[in-house]
Structure 1
Amino acid sequence: MGDSRVRDNYLSKKISIFTGLICLLILLSVIYSLLILKEDIKKEDKSNLLRIETSNQRALIKEMFKEDNYYMESDFYDYGVINLKGEVIFSSISDFNKEEKINLENEIGYDNAFDNRKNGLIRYSTPLVNNGFQEGIIIIDLPQNVLNSGNKNEKFLPLWILLFLIGVLAFMINRFVKIDIIKPIKELHKSAKTILNGSYKCKVNYDYHGEVGEFCHDFEAMRGEIINSKEKEEKLKRNEKELLACISHDLKTPLSSISGYVEGIRDRIVKDEEGIKRYSNIILKKSKELSKLIDDILEQSKTELNEMSIERKEIYSDDYLMEVLGDLSIDVATHNMRLTVKGEIPRALIFIDTIRINQVINNIIANSIKYSRAGESIEIWLDDDIDKITVNIKDFGSGISIGDIPFVFNKFYRGEKYRNTNISGSGLGLSISKYIVESHGGNIKCSSALESGTTISFTIPKM
């Protein structure tokens, strides 16, 4: 039911019908007022119009006649006073002269002949009555426009203005409803339908304030959240497939080695104590690699779910780093390499999870050992800035190509280049390190070139 109303423009049609009815009523009101005006003009003849127009002048002329004192008001028309004998008593009309005798029959009433003789004026005569007796005739010349129906139009003018304003208001309401209500509703309906069909690209473009605008903004925010959730879901699915593929490959390699050496001992391929010891050491080494791989996978899973615990505490940078680097120098020496600390270690109060930052440094150093030759050195130096300390770790190993640098912090990165080599590792170390550094409010970056070594730098904010 609702869908069919949207498709059939139900609301839009209703608004158009109501607006049309308002306009029709306005038109009928105008036609009706014009008909009334026409009827009033028919009922009221020219004499009535002249009588109304000259009513004030006639009363004043009577007073002046009583006092025998004629004077001209500023708003008076030209007039004349004639007694019953036809003698002109007073006149401001150019056709009559005082004491002149005229023919009364020609001057009484509405003079159509005069209308034709002198264009633009109408001569109107009315009896001069005092105390119930007629004493003469008053003749007044008026402009011809007094017969116009302008005074009738004026009485309908407020009505017409009101109807015009109602029409304008109806038009504005119709436009407002269509643009600010119906249009965004249609956009919302269209966007919702596309979302139901599995597409999230249909945007609601209505971007104004008000109740409808806020609703559209909220709808867009909801659509954005749906898009983000969908992207995260698809990313998790891709990660899951990638994780399963990488785990199956990385677990298979050490397991195959362990299985092969165990079979060698079982089948007595090696019989002497030295051979069994060598096989056992290899099995132990591969088992540790397998354990490290499983630990890395678990850590990476925690980073994906934002569940890696970060328990920070206050500590001075020099105390912490001197202890960590001292322990690492011993581990590096066991691989026939040197760990060199260049410059001084700055003293500043930092707020870190020491175990997790240890993990970052260990991951970077472990990569440097793996991809460097025996006898080479690993250099560490620290940059002391106003708000942070930057730890720089450089090796002189095989390096990374420029095209691969943007991806070194992606999980399983090594799978792209080193998976089929004899170098062990999960490819998760730098990805986990990036998560830990950023969880502390710092950042991590890589600079490298093939056969020129690699430098990994990360920052620790000061307190």
Structure 2
Amino acid sequence: MSIRKRLILSNIAMILMPIFFFLLSLFILVQLFFGEQPFFAHEDGSAPIAEEYLHLKQTAARTPDKLREEEYLSNRMAEIPQENAAILIREKGEITYQSSPSMSLSVSELPAFDFEEMRRPIHRFGNQLYFLQKNDFYYSNGNEGTVFLLQDAGFVKRFGPIVFGCLLLALIFTNGLLTYFVSKTILTPVNQLRAASEKISEGDLDFHIESRRKDELGHLSRTFEIMRKKLKESMELQMQYEENRKELISNISHDLKTPLSAIKGYVEGIRDGVANSPEKLDSYTQTIYSKANELDHLIEELFLYSKLDMNRLPYHFEEVDIKEYIKNYVEELSLQLSEQTKVSFYYDRATSYVGIIDRDKLKRVFSNIIDNSLKYMDKEKRQLLIQLKNLEEHIKVDITDNGPGIKPEDVPYLFDRFYRVEHSRNTKTGGSGLGLAIAEQIIKGHGGDIWAESEINKGTTISFIIKKASNQGENGNEKDLDY
């Protein structure tokens, strides 16, 4: 239930409760003044004077003349308590019997014979209030007679303040109770959120806010919990970025320092005259040139990766037949590879492989993957297999080598920047560690995905998908091009 509805219902209850108690008080008063009177009863529930009144009514109906007999009346009333109650008998306007002499009443104050307004049970006689019941009858000689039953009703004067006080206490109690419960349903989650915000301000995000409420505060608590989780994830990601930044600086420093140290050492060797022959001098300068090329390649890859990582490298997409594109690339690659390296290309003749690519950047992906494979392949006959597969909305490319394979624990980190399977960071057995990271950034820039699968001593497969220009083709026969 929403807070708005809860407040509306509580306000309605605060209005209805006084009405309810007013009606209850009114009902009690009506029963008191117009109902059957229990006021003649003792504490044990008995009402002897009321019972005698009923007996006298029956006597008046059967043998009314008996009500003239003093002895009969005295015997009937002998055991009846006389405090604050009395039975009176009137004949022809005169009181002929009164059970309680202490109750002084004027005949003129009593209701007349056959008085129609006798339904009102409380009457005022002088300064006193009395409960009054009467029964009119006729004596045998035709005289009018009346039996009266009276009881002091002075306590009615005190009844009004008591009822008002009880009503006021009931209103205070119910309104206080409603206010407490309504405020509790609001203040409890508010205090929870306040405590949570204080923890967040102190940098503590290791807590949980649970709320099953379905009102606005419940929604706010759940939104606050989502914010806390995202903030925690953001801080953890920031910490991870910081660790990655430190590792990146460390790796860059190492990879830059290694060729620089070599260049510096060979330059000093030349200056100190260690290269004292044309052959040594030529070897030293060739080494310096090679290390300078390594530096240039590393800086180029760092520059490219940073631009890709910050999305500052523009893409020039176009619809290209991927099958023809790879065939041309394989032909060009075959001219650069030795005879010990065999490249095979499998594709479906009956299928059109038209994708949306940036030609130059996708070529960089192929180059980085294949160069990485060639560096680690340790077999005398090296084999590369490129396969095209037609998916529903993408074109899949698999590049498989017959290298030594990669340990399962290393596979998830292949596309991390500066990660090398060979952890010594020896440039003879690995490159800069940015090749596959650059390939991943380019493929993601194409809206695709890239991943690796590998088995020890069987080889590694790098797969990626790129978007198709449209739904095309059906599977048919495969063609194998070997170079």
* TM-score over 0.5 (shorter chain): yes
Aligned to 2:341: 337
| Cα separation, 2, equivalents of 1:396 and 1:225 | 43
Provide Cα deviations, 1:304-346, integer angstroms capped at 9, x if missing partner: 5454544433333324333333333333x15852221123374
For the residues of structure 1 that align with 2:224 and 2:400, how far apart are their CA atoms? 50
Name the counterpart of 2:460.
454
Match of 1:15 in 2: none
The match for 1:177 is 183
* Aligned with 1:413 (options 399, 402, 419): 419
Structure 1 residues 418 and 99, CA gap change in structure 2 (3 angstroms): closer
Aligned twin of 1:101: 65
Contact 2:369 2:462 in 1 (8 A): yes
Whole-Å separation in 2 of the counterparts to 1:344 and 1:423: 36
Pairs within 5 Å for 1:52-451: 94-96=58-60, 98=62, 101-104=65-68, 113=77, 129=112, 135-139=143-147, 164=170, 167-181=173-187, 183-206=188-211, 208-265=213-270, 267=273, 269=275, 271-272=277-278, 277-331=282-336, 333-334=337-338, 336-344=340-348, 346-373=351-378, 375-414=381-420, 417-420=423-426, 422-451=428-457
Amino acid at match of 1:431: A
Provide the C-alpha distance between the structure 2 equivalents of 1:453 and 1:313, rounded to a whole number of angstroms: 33
Distance 1:259 1:290 in 2: 13
Once the two structures are superposed, residues 206-238 of structure 1 have per-residue CA deviations (whole angstroms, 9 ceiling, x without a partner) of 454544345444544443443344223322321
- Contact between 1:264 and 1:270, CA under 8 Å: does it hold in 2? no
Contact 1:411 1:431 in 2 (8 A): yes
> CA, structure 1 residues 415+402, in 2 after alignment: closer, same or farther (shift >3 Å)?
closer
Instruction: Measure how far apart 1:106 and its partner are.
Output: 5.2
**C-alpha separation between the residues in 2 aligned to 1:104 and 1:402?**
123
Name the CA distance, whole Å, in 2 between partners of 1:347 and 1:107: 132
Counterpart CA distance in 2 for 1:314 and 1:287 is 39
Q: Which amino acid in the other structure matches residue 351 of structure 1?
A: I
Do the aligned partners of 2:66 and 2:72 also contact (CA within 8 Å) in 1?
Answer: no
Q: Which amino acid aligns with 2:464?
A: F
The structure-2 alpha-carbon separation of the partners of 1:124 and 1:427, relative to structure 1 and needing over 3 Å to count, comes to farther
Moved more, 413-422 or 365-374: 413-422
SS in 1 for 2:240: helix
Give me the TM-score of the superposition, normalised by structure 2: 0.63
Structure 1 residue 141, shift from structure 2 partner: 9.2
Give the drift of 1:246: 0.8
Structure 1 residue aligned with 2:48: none
1:103 aligned partner, one-letter code: L
Contact map agreement 1:108 1:126 (CA 8 A) in 2:
no
Q: Per-residue displacement from partner, 1:109-150 (whole Å, max 9, x unpaired)?
A: 999829959xxxx97756675799x951134899x9xx9x99
RMSD: 4.9
Maintained 8 Å contact 2:53/2:87: no
Cα distance in 2 between the residues matched to 1:107 and 1:222: 97
Amino acid at match of 2:59: D
CA distance in 1, matches of 2:301, 2:74: 118
- Is residue 420–residue 430 contact of structure 2 (8 Å, CA) maintained in 1? no
Report the TM-score when normalising by structure 1.
Answer: 0.65
Between 209-218 and 387-396, the greater mean CA deviation after superposition: 209-218
Q: Report what 2:105 is aligned to.
A: none
Give the 3-state SS of the residue equivalent to 1:382 in structure 2: strand
TM-superposed deviation, 1:366: 0.8
The Cα shift of 1:414 comes to 0.8
Q: Which structure has the higher relative contact order (CA within 8 Å, separation 6+)?
A: 2
Q: 1:191 to 1:165 in 2, by over 3 A?
A: same
> How far off is 1:191 after superposition?
2.4
- Counterpart of 1:66? none
**How far apart, in 2, do the equivalents of 1:425 and 1:329 lie?**
21
* Alpha-carbon offset, residue 378 of structure 1: 0.9
**SS of residue in 2 equivalent to 1:167:** helix
1:444 shift after superposition: 1.8
AA partner of residue 204 (structure 2): S
Question: Cα distance, 1:288 vs. partner?
Answer: 2.3
Are 1:338 and 1:378, in contact at CA under 8 Å, matched by a contact in 2? yes
Deviation at residue 381 of structure 1 after TM alignment: 0.8
CA drift of 1:93 comes to 5.4
Deviation at 1:429, TM superposition (A): 1.6
* Corresponding letter in the other structure for 1:241: K
| Identity level (%) | 30
Q: Deviations over 1:265-304 (max 9, x none)?
A: 55362633x6655544443332222222112223333455
Higher helix share: 1
CA distance in 2, matches of 1:397, 1:293: 24
Structure 1: segments with no counterpart, 5+ residues: 1-21, 51-76, 81-90
Contact 2:91 2:144 in 1 (8 A): yes
Question: Structure 1, residues 223-256: CA drift from partner, whole Å, max 9, x if none?
Answer: 3443344223322321221112111211122223
